């Protein structure tokens, strides 16, 4: 087994280390979601934590890590007798992004259960992680139904597997840690709320601290064992402190005064539901135990709020996470006199919440927390001739449903029809590999004609593997929604461009809700640009849209050709994900020789390949040329006005290009 990088040798990242340690002290806190840019020691810190966890006593031979002192009475490997067991290190189990549902929760062999009457269960990663750490890197890229299963198990402390009347239940209590890069897409607010704490991490901008990071990493790579040995004393001290804090935790008193501060804070920040209050209470209690105290202080409540509330205030994908610390201090001060008196006259000097002294580790670590919206919005590029500065988008609205015709096989989502693992049953087929969803009627129908040959003359049914049928299901998929936005001078009227940006922002919000990937191509002047390559981060697309300047000629053909190239590359990367092209323009084409003819030829490339498309017609005024409608016809799609985008439904307006061509 490779030697992990020592936890105490991680430079800076005080909030990250503290959040992990608090969950090690009290798993009831509910796990940690670590958000931040790549290369900020997220994975290193999580893997290093497992080496600090105390050893776990287990019953020998139990695949579900039952505690010999209190064995699980429902353990599939049980029943177990109470008694002495063996000790092993706490496990850190990693869930790959591409894991299947069976790999996560375990595989129940339906074939053996039906054909042989044997209840055979192969444990999954949830069973492996019981009483240890379950680490999900890039948790925002997991399929939604896997995230739901994961968080349900973490909340209930148990995993349930049910298939066709056969069920298995086993304990699954673990420290859940998820990491994500926000540039690759956000988690839904409902899922964000299920993580106890969240931490924003970023690379230090201090040269001395960056030098220390590189120095330690190079030393570790040259001699992992020797480097770990130099940090052994610090590691042992933190391990002992975790054990002591766990023992002290039941004795920590959460007084009425602290509870009032917690409730007032959650109310002041308008946090939905009561989960935030409960998580803050557990976190404040763990902070006190970590500091070696038996009373929760105001400083514990403040630190708990900074860790437990920022991600719960995010209402839509365009909101930046964060907390107004001045408002937090004002709320805590307002309710500081109610309930219990502060038992610690030294205030913050009591050591509440900071990780232990770690020698050179602490040097240079600022522990500064970035404020919400740090860095601001992207600034528009320098204005050139005929260019206007960016205008703000109008308020977004609920759009109609745009969908891709036909039946796809893409990633699960909420936009277009697709063959999926979850959804309504539409038919049956022979299993290809392991049987996961049994189609009972089709199975019985396949077996019935052979009963006499199999010696069955009375009631009952003799099943063989060849009789089993897999249910085929239809659900919804997520698509690639590629926006091609006209930013030329003909679109430059401020009120008009504000409405256009508001419409695109509305479609982006719809794409977020339907689990789509999005991309943004803009064209103006003499060229087109890929403002945002296809990504799951709709908030990144919104930021690019907001800063988009306008002006110049209308190179419509260049915009369409650039979009065609983006689709070609993305089709190689993800061939199963179907595309929907949304062209936002008034249909004018200027600049170069024969701009209208060139635009028509570029549009017909999409029609020839059967790419679903919609043109959002931005033409306004009493005299309209209808150019957007002509463009839609050449694309093989349909045109809608900005006003029509608000109608009840336009699901049927996206033409099935193949059907149209056959009819012609």
Task: Report the alpha-carbon distance of residue 212 to residue 655 in Å, rounded.
Answer: 59
Task: Report the alpha-carbon distance of residue 395 to residue 499 in Å, rounded.
Answer: 8
Nearest to 144 by CA among 201, 106, 189, 183: 189
Checking if the pLDDT of 493 tops 80, the result is no
Checking if the pLDDT of 283 tops 90, the result is yes
Q: How confident is the model at residue 111 (pLDDT cuts 50, 70, 90)?
A: low
- Does residue 409 belong to any structural domain of this protein? no
Query: Do 534 and 646 lie in a common domain?
Result: yes
Please give the residue that has the higher pLDDT: either 176 or 623: 176
Residue 607: per-residue pLDDT? 94
Instruction: Estimate the crossing angle of helix 275-290 against helix 14-25, to 10 degrees.
Output: 90
- Does residue 378 belong to any structural domain of this protein? no
Residue 568: per-residue pLDDT? 94
The 3-state DSSP class for residue 471 equals: strand
Q: How confident is the model at residue 164 (pLDDT cuts 50, 70, 90)?
A: low
Checking if the pLDDT of 285 tops 90, the result is yes
Residue 106: per-residue pLDDT? 85
Q: How confident is the model at residue 211 (pLDDT cuts 50, 70, 90)?
A: very high
Please give the residue that has the higher pLDDT: either 391 or 267: 267
The 3-state DSSP class for residue 564 equals: helix
Checking if the pLDDT of 19 tops 60, the result is yes
Please give the residue that has the higher pLDDT: either 363 or 412: 412
Q: Which residues are catalytic?
A: 275
DSSP one-letter code for 272: -
- Does residue 372 belong to any structural domain of this protein? no
Checking if the pLDDT of 432 tops 90, the result is no
Query: Do 502 and 458 lie in a common domain?
Result: no
Residue 632: per-residue pLDDT? 94
The residue out of 248, 283, 305 marking a domain boundary is 248
Least confident of 119-133, 305-319, 463-477: 305-319
Residue 614: per-residue pLDDT? 94
- Does residue 209 belong to any structural domain of this protein? no
Checking if the pLDDT of 376 tops 60, the result is no
- pTM of model > 0.75: no
Residue 636: per-residue pLDDT? 94
Query: Do 288 and 433 lie in a common domain?
Result: no
- Does residue 377 belong to any structural domain of this protein? no
Query: Do 177 and 266 lie in a common domain?
Result: no
Residue 619: per-residue pLDDT? 82
Task: Report the alpha-carbon distance of residue 146 to residue 134 in Å, rounded.
Answer: 14
Phi, psi of 605 (to 5 degrees): -60, -40
Q: How confident is the model at residue 371 (pLDDT cuts 50, 70, 90)?
A: very low
Checking if the pLDDT of 59 tops 70, the result is yes
Domain that holds residue 322: 252-353
On the CB side of 575, CA atoms within 13 Å amount to 1
Q: How confident is the model at residue 578 (pLDDT cuts 50, 70, 90)?
A: very high
- Does residue 122 belong to any structural domain of this protein? yes
Number of structural domains the chain divides into:
4
Query: Do 71 and 173 lie in a common domain?
Result: yes
Checking if the pLDDT of 151 tops 60, the result is yes
- Does residue 212 belong to any structural domain of this protein? no
Query: Do 634 and 550 lie in a common domain?
Result: yes
284 neighbors 260 (Cβ within 8 angstroms): no
201 neighbors 40 (Cβ within 8 angstroms): yes
**Average pLDDT, integer, range 62-78:** 87
Helices (H), 36-106: 42-50, 101-105
Query: Do 94 and 151 lie in a common domain?
Result: yes
CATH of the domain at 134: 3.40.50.300
Query: Do 244 and 257 lie in a common domain?
Result: no
Residue 653: per-residue pLDDT? 44
Task: Report the alpha-carbon distance of residue 531 to residue 409 in Å, rounded.
Answer: 28
Task: Report residue 311 CA to chain centroid gap.
Answer: 12
Q: How confident is the model at residue 651 (pLDDT cuts 50, 70, 90)?
A: very low
| 3 state SS for 91-158 | CEEECCCCCCHHHHHEEECHHHHHHCCCCCEEECHHHHCCCCEEEEECHHHCCHHHHHHHHHHHHHCE
Residue 584: per-residue pLDDT? 93
Q: How confident is the model at residue 69 (pLDDT cuts 50, 70, 90)?
A: confident
Average predicted confidence (pLDDT) for the chain: 81
Residue 358: per-residue pLDDT? 43
Cβ burial 38-53 (10 Å sphere, 16+ → b, else e): eebbbbbbbbbbbbbb
Checking if the pLDDT of 621 tops 80, the result is no
424-429 and 106-108 as β-strands: parallel, antiparallel, unpaired? unpaired
Checking if the pLDDT of 347 tops 70, the result is no
**Average pLDDT, integer, range 589-599:** 87
Residue 116: per-residue pLDDT? 63
Checking if the pLDDT of 354 tops 50, the result is no
What percent of the chain shows pLDDT beyond 70? 85
Checking if the pLDDT of 352 tops 70, the result is no
- Does residue 362 belong to any structural domain of this protein? no
Q: How confident is the model at residue 437 (pLDDT cuts 50, 70, 90)?
A: confident
Residue 220: per-residue pLDDT? 92
Task: Report the alpha-carbon distance of residue 617 to residue 621 in Å, rounded.
Answer: 12
546 neighbors 376 (Cβ within 8 angstroms): no
Query: Do 26 and 132 lie in a common domain?
Result: yes
CA angle at residue 604 from 599 to 610, to 5 degrees? 140
What percent of the chain shows pLDDT beyond 90? 30
Task: Report the alpha-carbon distance of residue 577 to residue 477 in Å, rounded.
Answer: 8
Alpha carbon of 520 to those of 560, 566, 610: distances in Å?
Answer: 12, 10, 20
The 3-state DSSP class for residue 308 equals: helix
Highest mean pLDDT among 251-260, 264-273, 437-446: 251-260
Least confident of 95-104, 389-398, 494-503, 648-657: 648-657
Query: Do 153 and 296 lie in a common domain?
Result: no
Alpha carbon of 374 to those of 304, 320, 381, 405: distances in Å?
Answer: 21, 9, 19, 42
216 neighbors 13 (Cβ within 8 angstroms): no
Cα Rg for the chain, rounded, in angstroms?
A: 29
Checking if the pLDDT of 179 tops 70, the result is yes
Checking if the pLDDT of 249 tops 50, the result is yes
Please give the residue that has the higher pLDDT: either 209 or 383: 209
Residue 118: per-residue pLDDT? 63
Residue 654: per-residue pLDDT? 45
Q: How confident is the model at residue 383 (pLDDT cuts 50, 70, 90)?
A: very low
Query: Do 45 and 178 lie in a common domain?
Result: yes
Query: Do 400 and 435 lie in a common domain?
Result: no
Phi, psi of 534 (to 5 degrees): -50, 130
The 3-state DSSP class for residue 468 equals: coil
Please give the residue that has the higher pLDDT: either 434 or 116: 434
End-to-end CA distance of the chain: 66
Please give the residue that has the higher pLDDT: either 199 or 380: 199
Q: How confident is the model at residue 492 (pLDDT cuts 50, 70, 90)?
A: low
Task: Report the alpha-carbon distance of residue 471 to residue 435 in Å, rounded.
Answer: 9
Least confident of 290-299, 342-351, 474-483, 492-501: 342-351
Alpha carbon of 97 to those of 47, 158, 333, 483, 557: distances in Å?
Answer: 17, 22, 44, 27, 38
Least confident of 33-37, 455-459, 534-538: 455-459
**Average pLDDT, integer, range 189-199:** 83
């Amino acid at each position: 087994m490779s030697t992990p990088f020592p936890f105490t040798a991680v430079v800076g990242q005080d909030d990250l280390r503290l959040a992990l340690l608090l969950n090690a002290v009290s798993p009831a806190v509910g796990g940690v979601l670590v958000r931040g840019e790549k290369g900020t020691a997220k994975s290193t810190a999580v893997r290093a934590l497992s080496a600090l966890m105390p050893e776990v006593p287990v019953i020998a031979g139990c695949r579900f890590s039952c505690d010999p002192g209190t064995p699980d009475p429902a353990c599939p490997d049980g029943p177990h007798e109470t008694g002495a067991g063996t000790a092993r290190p706490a496990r850190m189990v990693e869930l790959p992004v591409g894991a299947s549902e069976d790999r996560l929760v375990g595989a129940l062999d339906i074939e053996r259960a039906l054909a042989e009457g044997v209840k055979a269960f192969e444990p999954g990663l949830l069973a492996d992680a019981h009483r240890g750490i379950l680490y999900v890197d890039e948790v925002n890229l997991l399929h939604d139904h896997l995230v739901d299963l994961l968080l349900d198990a973490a909340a209930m402390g148990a995993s349930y597997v049910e298939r066709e009347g056969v069920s298995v239940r086993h304990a699954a209590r673990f420290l859940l840690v998820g990491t994500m890069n926000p540039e690759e897409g956000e988690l839904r607010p409902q899922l964000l709320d299920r993580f106890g704490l969240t931490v924003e991490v970023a690379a230090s901008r201090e040269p001395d601290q960056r030098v220390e990071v590189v120095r330690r990493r190079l030393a570790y790579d040259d001699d992992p064992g020797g480097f770990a040995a130099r940090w052994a004393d610090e590691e042992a001290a933190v391990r002992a402190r975790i054990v002591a804090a766990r023992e002290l935790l039941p004795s920590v008193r959460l007084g009425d005064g602290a509870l009032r501060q917690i409730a007032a804070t959650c109310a002041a920040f308008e946090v939905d539901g009561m989960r935030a209050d409960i998580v803050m209470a557990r976190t404040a209690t763990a902070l006190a135990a970590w500091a070696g105290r038996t009373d929760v202080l105001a400083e514990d409540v403040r630190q708990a709020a900074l860790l437990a509330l920022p991600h719960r205030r995010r209402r839509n994908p365009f909101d930046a996470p964060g907390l107004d610390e001045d408002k937090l201090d004002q709320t805590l001060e307002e309710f500081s006199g109610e309930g219990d008196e502060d038992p610690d006259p030294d205030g913050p000097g009591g050591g509440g919440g900071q990780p232990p002294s770690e020698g050179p580790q602490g040097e240079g670590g600022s522990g500064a927390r970035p404020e919400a919206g740090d860095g601001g919005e992207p600034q528009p590029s320098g204005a050139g001739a005929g260019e206007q500065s960016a205008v703000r988008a109008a308020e977004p609205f609920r759009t109609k449903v745009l969908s891709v015709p036909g039946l796809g096989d893409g990633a699960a989502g909420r936009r277009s029809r697709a063959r999926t693992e979850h959804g309504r049953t539409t038919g049956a087929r022979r299993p290809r590999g392991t049987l996961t969803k049994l189609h009972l009627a089709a199975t019985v129908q396949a077996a019935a004609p052979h009963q006499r040959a199999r010696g069955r003359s009375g009631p009952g049914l003799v099943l063989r593997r060849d009789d089993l049928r897999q249910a085929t299901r239809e659900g919804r998929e997520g698509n690639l929604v590629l926006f091609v936005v006209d930013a030329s001078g003909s679109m430059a009227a401020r009120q008009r461009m504000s409405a256009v940006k508001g419409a695109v922002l509305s479609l982006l919000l719809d794409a977020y809700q339907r689990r789509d990937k999005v991309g943004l191509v803009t064209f103006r002047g003499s060229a087109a640009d890929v403002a945002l390559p296809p990504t799951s981060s709709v908030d990144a697309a919104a930021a690019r849209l907001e800063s988009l300047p306008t002006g110049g000629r209308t190179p419509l053909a260049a915009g369409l050709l650039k979009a065609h190239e983006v689709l070609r590359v993305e089709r190689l990367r993800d061939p199963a994900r179907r595309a929907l092209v949304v062209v936002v323009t008034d249909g004018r084409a200027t600049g170069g020789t024969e701009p209208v003819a060139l635009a028509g030829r570029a549009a017909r490339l999409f029609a020839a390949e059967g790419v679903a498309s919609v043109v959002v017609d931005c033409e306004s005024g009493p005299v309209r040329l209808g150019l957007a409608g002509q463009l839609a016809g050449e694309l093989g799609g349909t045109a809608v006005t900005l006003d029509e985008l608000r109608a009840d439904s336009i699901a049927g307006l996206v033409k099935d290009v193949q059907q149209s061509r056959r009819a012609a």
